Amino acid sequence: MMKKYMKKWLAAGLALCLAAGLTACAGNKTEEKEETAKSETEEQKEDAAEEVEIQVFIAASLNTVMTDLAERYQEAHPEVKITYNADSSGTLLTQIEEGYECDIFFSAAQKQMDQLEEDGLVVEGSRSNVVNNQVVVLTLKDSGTSVTGLADLKNAGSIALAGGSVPVGKYTRQALVNLGILGETEDVSKITTQEVSEALGGVEISEQDNVSKVLIAVTEGSCEVGTTYYSDTYGYEDKVEILEQVSYDLTGNVIYPICLVENKEADAAQTKAAEEFLAYVLSDEAKEVFESYYFDTNVE
């Protein structure tokens, strides 16, 4: 009888111990889950705190290559959001002068960068020349045009031409001056589209406010020929025919400078992110990417 009670007592004790152990385990698991959730929340907060956005103003002709560079950069720096504003360099300069928030300015010409520096908006020591480009005369494939280049541009039925404040429009005008088609002037960017038309015998000219719109006018067939940059033909090799790659002797070098912009709204993290992205754009890795998009990186 005594043995029977002893067995019951031992069984009850084991049951209590087992229950206590399970409760302790459950408690430990709950605490572990709470600690894990807390840790994940803290990590998310830290990640969110590290996220930073930079505003990069780029000439329209840089849009494709810079999109590629941003994607490559963000693979290693996912916390950095790069927001591009792509337009003509003249428009971008005006926006910065009017107070638009900008961390980096990448211009298609020195003129706009010079003006920004005169305005005191370039961070000292941050300005660098990045790439060279080349003006081209192009047409839609199989267009049947009799135009072979700038010298006989007057033979075109219609021309897509950027305005004088747009770098590619300025370089085109400079080339026409050097060919003797346009008269000498102190500032070729002030030569109006109407004056260009008259010098070419009254040919119809559709003025565009950036180089990308010139390309669209030609590829859509609304204009017979147009002048863009060689880099703009990337991805359009099957659609357009390059009639002439205009010599640097006619246009001068088509240098693209870049700089950090004085941004009073930026905090320390944003400023650092802008500095690091600028360094990447100037790196050997980026240089190879620029070359793959038909830019010339020999800017010495």
Report the pLDDT value the prediction gives residue 299, as an integer from 0 to 100: 86
Residue 192 banded pLDDT, cuts 50, 70, 90? very high
* pLDDT confidence of residue 33: 54
Mean pLDDT confidence for 186-210: 97
The reported pLDDT for the residue numbered 4 is 46
23-28-30-35 Cα dihedral, nearest 10 degrees = 170
Q: What is the pTM of this model?
A: 0.78
What local confidence, expressed as pLDDT, does residue 18 receive? 45
Task: Indicate the burial class of 29 (C-beta count within 10 angstroms; 0-12, 13-18, 19 or more).
Answer: exposed
Lowest mean per-residue pLDDT among 11-25, 97-111, 209-223: 11-25
pLDDT digits (tens, 9 = 90+) for 251-295: 999 999 999 999 999 999 999 999 999 999 999 999 999 999 999
How far apart CA 63 and CA 54 sit, in angstroms, is: 16
Average pLDDT score over residue span 65-94: 97
Record: fold of 51-132+255-292: D-Maltodextrin-Binding Protein; domain 2 (3.40.190)
Phi, psi (deg, nearest 5) at residue 79: -80, -10
> Average of pLDDT values for 60-85?
97
Please report which helix (H) or strand (E) contains residue 92, including its range: helix 89-97
CATH of domain 135-245: 3.40.190.10
Give the H/E segment covering residue 255. strand 254-260
pLDDT in tens, 4-51: 444 454 445 545 444 545 455 555 555 555 555 555 555 554 454 479
| Beta-carbon contacts of residue 195 (< 8 Å; ≥ 6 apart) | 182
Residues of the chain with CATH 3.40.190.10: 51-132+255-292, 135-245
Q: Say how far apart CA 175 and CA 182 lie, in whole Å.
A: 9
**Predicted pLDDT of residue 3:** 46
User: Rounded to whole angstroms, how far apart are CA atoms 297 and 167?
Assistant: 18
